[in-house]
């Protein structure tokens, strides 16, 4: 099976004249089309809002594209809040969902009037002491514990996750927050990652909608929004059917009417914080084959490494690989596709059947638009690559330059030693 690419060999050759490999490339047209589909799927809910998870693709140019479609941002750190502020996101356009949160991050979020989503029961007291108040609008993260499973064999274990409050804790939290002046409440939960199933969001929604009715009835809290968070995944494997966001939206609508509307809560807004679904398929890592090795296995060495894409090394995650220009050739060669790090897990593919790869061939590693560049690091002194935007008019814009040795050494306070760099 194969995956379609949004960039051709001829385009890559032209891009490489200005921007050497490796580089991450994003598809503006695809991003915009997907944002339209998401908003259309949830148009039935007047308050619907996507809070794009900055952690997935922390690039201002990407965030500004999504801003065109009324997307807010989900932040989890001080620097992500700073990026949001720099791009003129403010107030209810920012969801601050953090855990083990330092006080200065709560202070900054409060200064921006962001919606603060509390991860833990102990954070109620911590937040009040830090900012001197309880905000009028506040959200709490729920963890139902146990196992989470849906009929498509997708299972996760919320009980082992460090995130969120128990049911007893969230009820107590709402009572305390209300007594301390909170007037508008939200509920948030994240139970499974990268679900390629049209059932997940509506299953999660049913859990949270039922919880919302109970919380309203027992605490009297005015619940204004329910954040279904992320978890809608993408098909990394080429033979997996992708999620249909229109079906997902309709499934959530049915549960909304059955639970919330039926219980007099038909004005509750639905929020999402999708990262992978919004950006994953609309980014790729382009790298060049620079070495081949013939020992106990056949190896292709690339100029990219786990520094540029950590997921295969970290999780054993699958990312499809296309040899640019050889899309229609038979995949009759078995390779390990590797980077150059001093780690044996620095492999983009193991025993992958691909067309014969010649030195200088360009490899397109698919689905790196989310949690690709953002998870990069500098092991072995390797430098992060550039990020490029393939614009809707097919021109290319650099949206982040590649790191240089000067960047790598910049945090040392040894000016004289490194003065010649």
Active site residue ranges: 342
Helices (H) and strands (E) in the chain, counts: 12, 19
Q: Give me 342's structure tokens.
A: 């001093």
How would you label 59-73 residue by residue, b for 16+ Cβ within 10 Å and e otherwise? bebbbebbbebebbb
How many CB atoms within 10 Å of residue 5?
19
Query: At a CB cut-off of 8 Å and minimum separation 6, what does 109 contact?
Result: 75, 81, 94, 96, 116
Closest CA to 282 of 1, 19, 22, 56: 56
Q: How far is CA 343 from the centre of its chain?
A: 26
Distance CA 182, CA 91 (A): 16
Secondary structure (3-state) at 178: helix
Distance CA 368, CA 376 (A): 12
Distance CA 110, CA 133 (A): 10
Closest CA to 112 of 96, 134, 128: 96
DSSP-assigned letters across all residues of 12-36: HHHHHHHSPSSEEEEEHHHHHHHHH
How many CB atoms within 10 Å of residue 86?
10
Only one residue has tokens 């508008």, namely 184
Please report, for residues 39, 240, 343, the alpha-carbon distance to residue 252 in angstroms, rounded to integers and kept in the order given: 14, 22, 44
Q: Give me 88's structure tokens.
A: 């003129």
First to last CA, the chain: 47
Only one residue has tokens 């109970």, namely 214
Please report, for residues 100, 327, 378, 382, 411, the alpha-carbon distance to residue 415 in angstroms, rounded to integers and kept in the order given: 35, 49, 21, 21, 10
Q: How far is CA 36 from the centre of its chain?
A: 18
Contact present, 286 and 381 (Cβ < 8 Å): no
């Amino acid at each position: 099976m194969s995956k379609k690419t949004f960039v051709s060999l001829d385009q890559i050759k032209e891009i490489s004249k200005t921007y050497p490999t490796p580089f991450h490339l994003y598809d503006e047209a695809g991003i915009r089309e997907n944002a339209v589909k998401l908003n259309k799927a949830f148009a039935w809910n007047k308050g619907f809002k996507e809070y794009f998870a900055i952690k997935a693709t922390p690039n201002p140019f990407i965030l500004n594209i999504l801003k065109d479609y009324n997307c807010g941002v989900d932040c989890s750190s001080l620097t992500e809040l700073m990026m949001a502020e720099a791009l003129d996101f403010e107030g209810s356009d920012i969801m601050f969902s953090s855990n083990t949160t330092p006080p200065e991050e709560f202070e900054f979020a409060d200064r921006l009037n962001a919606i603060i989503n509390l991860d833990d029961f102990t954070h109620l007291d911590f937040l009040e002491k830090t900012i001197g108040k309880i905000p009028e609008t506040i959200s709490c993260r729920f963890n139902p514990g146990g196992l989470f499973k849906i009929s498509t064999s997708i299972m996760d274990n919320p009980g082992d996750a460090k995130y969120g409050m128990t049911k007893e804790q969230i009820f107590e939290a709402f009572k305390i927050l209300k007594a301390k002046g909170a007037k508008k409440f939200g509920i948030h939960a994240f139970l499974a990652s990268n679900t390629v199933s049209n059932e997940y969001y509506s299953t999660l929604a049913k859990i949270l909608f039922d919880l919302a009715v109970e919380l309203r009835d027992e605490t009297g809290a005015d619940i204004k929004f329910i954040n279904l968070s992320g978890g809608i995944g993408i098909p990394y494997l080429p033979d997996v059917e992708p999620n249909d966001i229109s079906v997902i939206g309709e499934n959530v609508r049915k549960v909304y009417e059955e639970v919330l509307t039926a219980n007099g809560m038909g004005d509750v807004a639905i929020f999402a914080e999708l990262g992978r679904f919004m950006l994953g398929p609309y980014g790729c890592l382009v790298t060049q084959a620079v070495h081949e090795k013939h020992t106990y296995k056949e190896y292709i060495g690339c100029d990219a490494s786990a520094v540029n894409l950590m997921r295969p090394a970290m999780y054993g995650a699958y990312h499809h690989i296309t040899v640019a220009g050889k899309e229609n050739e038979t995949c009759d060669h078995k390779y390990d596709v590797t980077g150059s790090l001093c780690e044996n897990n620095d492999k983009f593919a193991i025993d992958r059947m691909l067309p014969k790869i010649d030195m200088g061939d360009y490899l397109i590693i698919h689905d790196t638009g989310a949690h690709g560049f953002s998870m990069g690091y500098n092991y072995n002194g390797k430098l992060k690559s550039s990020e490029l935007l393939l614009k809707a008019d097919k021109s290319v814009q650099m949206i982040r330059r590649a790191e240089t040795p000067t960047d790598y050494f910049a945090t040392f306070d040894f000016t004289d030693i490194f003065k010649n760099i």
